[in-house]
Amino acid sequence: MIEVQLQVNGAGVQYTVPDHTLLVEFLRQNCRLTGTHVGCDTSQCGACTVNLDGVAVKSCTILAAQASGGSVVTVEGLAAPEGKTLHPVQNAFVQCHGLQCGFCTPGMIMAVDFYLRKPPSLSEASICHALEGNICRCTGYVNIIESVRHAAREMYPELDAPGSGKS
């Protein structure tokens, strides 16, 4: 057993868990944050993507103990806790119909959140590269890619200016 301390969505949590506990298990079972999903067992699908210390990680691929001392943001913590305002990425997925069954969506959103933490390229190739680690079966990705662009334009209005990296 090992003691794991984390900041999760801004709040400190501490549990003693078996050494082999994955971060995703820690989040789902100990923290009861079930928005982070498990869609595979080979680190391919990305449904478990969370943000750890500013970087998008697949939480099935890291031990909770390795993350200990760090700060995690899950899909539950993405929007401002007060009020009803969605994060621009969450809102974009709603507006663009970027989800159907919703199972891959939290991981998608966390991957896109990371991609958009600095001014992004909105080219098809760049967006697809950013989404390479996330699998969706429902949408054909068409509206997910649209959601990325929609969120980016909301977060970086200057991207809509002529000649601003849309190529």
CB closer to another protein out of 2 and 86: 86
Q: By CB under 8 A, is residue 117 in contact with another protein?
A: no
CB of 29 to another protein, least distance (A): 8
The correct pick among 7, 95, 153, 166 for binding another protein (CB under 8 A) is: 95
* Contact (CB, 8 A) for 6 and 67: yes
Give Cβ neighbours of residue 46 (< 8 Å, ≥ 6 apart). Answer: 39, 58, 104, 107, 108, 111, 133, 134, 135
Q: By CB under 8 A, is residue 134 in contact with another protein?
A: yes
What is the C-alpha to C-alpha distance for residues 64 and 6, in angstroms, rounded to an integer?
A: 9
Binding string, 59-78, against another protein, x = CB under 8 A?
A: ---------------xxx-x
* Contact (CB, 8 A) for 42 and 4: no
Q: By CB under 8 A, is residue 42 in contact with another protein?
A: yes
What is the C-alpha to C-alpha distance for residues 129 and 76, in angstroms, rounded to an integer?
A: 25
Strand 71-73 with 11-17, pairing:
unpaired
The correct pick among 2, 13, 15, 39 for binding another protein (CB under 8 A) is: 39
Which CA distances in Å does 23 have to 2, 40, 149? 13, 15, 30
CB closer to another protein out of 81 and 119: 81
The correct pick among 7, 61, 100, 121 for binding another protein (CB under 8 A) is: 100
Site for another protein, rule CB under 8 A: 28, 33-42, 44-45, 47, 74-76, 78-79, 86, 90-91, 93-95, 97, 99-106, 109, 124-125, 127-128, 131-132, 134-145
